[in-house]
Chains A and B, each alone.
Chain A
Amino acid sequence: MNIMFVVRKTSLIESLKYLLFLGVMTVLISLSIGKMEYNWQWYRIWRYIVTSSSDGSLAFGPLLKGLAVTIKISVISLFFAFIIGIITALFRLSTSFAAKFIARVYLELIRNTPLLIQLFVIYFVISPVFNISPFVSAVLSLSLFEGAYASEIIRGGIISIPKGQWESAYSLGLNTLDTYRFVVIPQTMRQILPPLTGQAVSLIKDSALVSTIAIYDLTMAGQAIISETFLTFEIWLTVAAIYLIMTVSISSFVHYLEKRNNYSE
């Protein structure tokens, strides 16, 4: 009886706190909007998401076209970031001094300089030399940047595999490559999936920076529309919502995968 009462009481207090928070937020937002005297024109944004052509069929508006570019860049970069991450992690764990040194230099270089600067260096300095397109420059810098962080996650995952797993694989006559491929990496994957997802979400968000090197991604599309229409608030809020939908769906999909693949329970 007593416990029931306590539980009810705390949940009541929690709900009251929540309502209070919502109330304060609503007041603050409406106050600021009122002060802004901004003329909201939400009805105008739809044509930038979906356009209908003269024969009545629907087509992607500029925002969705930008989204497609963002997705394309993110997926390709994610793939390469993962490859770079694995190679760097293996380099750091190897016994070769040269491999360790190369990995170390790469990590320090990438992690201690801003991504925007790396993007500019690749786009303005390296890409003219090798004659690579803005798209490739974008993918290259994003992969290199996220790969550095992914490698730390992967390295941590590999280190966490118990010594006995290596020993039993070796005692069966498996070589190092097969030990990694069949024993260590699959077990590592399960552990590093959540932090790696976080990195993928970061990558999608960081990809907004490629708008600075003339790539027509989601952010760039938003910017272009605003300069034409002055729908500053509506477009930026819409762009933010699209990013949010993307990242939240990735997180929940991986969460679902994790639950399904839980072999230890």
Chain B
Amino acid sequence: MSKPIIVVRNLNKTFPGPDNKIEISAVKDVNVEIFQGEVVVVRGPSGAGKSTFLRCLNGLENFDSGSVVIDNTPLDHHHKNRLEIRKEVGMVFQSFNLFPHMTVRKNISLAISRVRKKSKEECEITTLDLLEKVGITDKIDSYPSQLSGGQQQRVAIARALAMNPKIMLFDEATSALDPEMISEVLDVMKALAKEGMTMVVVTHEMGFAREAGTRLLFMDNGEIVEDREVRDFFENPIEDRSKAFLSKVL
């Protein structure tokens, strides 16, 4: 077996509580290894620490203890490592977070030109390629506010892909969308999974998990309570908590 591309060991993250006295555990002693090409779907009730766990993987959240190693680079306090990891890990947010003052073209090409130091021509080629991939070439000169939610999220995916990352993180990428727009975003994500992209996806879309996921993590109270193959999970969930959860959503 090849070496895992993401190695998480004894990860702990707490947040200060309401009166700064008690600490709330968001991620509790999480151990996980993710291999190249896996599509890991992270599920669980709200407040289970899914998003926090995901955000620890590219250093948007500082963890208290444990270690995260992405493609042999440890995510530590060295700023250089952190930047290096962020170049290789793309992220898509629930609220899109496109840059409102830039056109779609500039949104996508900013990181390639500034971080990858590509020429203008190369940026343009990549941008066009990616817009074709997510199916909105005609919006290249539009501003984010002129796009629908689904289109904005597809631009956000293209923007993350522009860096040609090894890993893509999706933080509830369809939760803020109207129902009729969810599928257009999920289709892009499924296509990406089929191409062999390593993905960690926090989502409530069981259809996506069933169709494109390879592995399923179930989180509750900051802990990973189940870590199984997707197919296996749907056939016989073992943990009581995920059984109860599954019976509620299916």
Chain A contact residues, CB within 8 Å of chain B? 162, 164-165, 167-175, 178, 182-183, 186-187, 190, 263-265
Contacts and interface: CB of A to CB of B under 8 A. Distances in A.
Interface string B141-172: 00101000000000010011001000000000
Nearest to A163: B97
A151 B59 CA distance: 30
Given A165-B97, A263-B101, A173 B111 contact: yes
Contacts of B58: 171
Interface of B: 58-60, 83, 86-87, 89-91, 93, 95, 97-101, 110-111, 114-115, 143, 145, 156, 159-160, 163
Contact of B86 (A170, A182, A265): A170
B237 to A, nearest CB: 32
Nearest first, the 4 A-B pairs at minimum CB distance are A168-B97, A164-B97, A172-B111, A171-B91
12 contacts: A167-B93, A168-B156, A170-B60, A171-B60, A171-B90, A172-B115, A173-B163, A174-B110, A186-B101, A263-B100, A264-B145, A265-B145
Contact of B115 (A167, A168, A173): A173
Identify which of A173, A175, A187, A265 gathers the most chain B CB atoms within 10 Å of its CB: A173
Nearest to A172: B111
A264 B110 contact: no
Given A165-B97, A186-B101, A171 B145 contact: no
Contacts of B97: 162, 164-165, 167-168
Contacts of B163: 172-173
A167 B100 contact: no
B83 A173 contact: yes
Given A182-B114, A263-B143, A171 B95 contact: no
A265 B93 CA distance: 23
Contacts of B86: 170-173
Contacts of A164: 93, 95, 97
B35 to A, nearest CB: 22
A190 B87 CA distance: 29
Contact of A171 (B89, B100, B110, B143): B89
Nearest to A175: B83
Contact of B101 (A172, A187, A265): A187
Nearest to A169: B99
Q: Is the interface of A mostly helix, strand, loop or mixed?
A: helix
A182 to B, nearest CB: 6
Contact of B99 (A170, A173, A183, A264): A183
A97 B89 CA distance: 32
Nearest to B90: A171
Contacts of B87: 173
Nearest to A181: B114
Nearest to B84: A173
B95 to A, nearest CB: 6
A171 B160 contact: yes
Given A164-B93, A167-B93, A168-B91, A174 B101 contact: no
Given A172-B111, A172-B115, A263 B99 contact: no
B88 to A, nearest CB: 8
B163 to A, nearest CB: 6
Contacts of B115: 172-174, 178
Most chain A CB atoms below 10 A, which of B86, B89, B114, B160:
B114
Contacts of B99: 165, 168-169, 182-183, 187
B110 A182 contact: yes
Contact of A167 (B60, B111, B145): B60
Contacts of B159: 168, 172
Nearest to B59: A170
A162 B100 CA distance: 11
Nearest to A183: B99
B118 to A, nearest CB: 13
A263 B142 CA distance: 10
A163 to B, nearest CB: 9
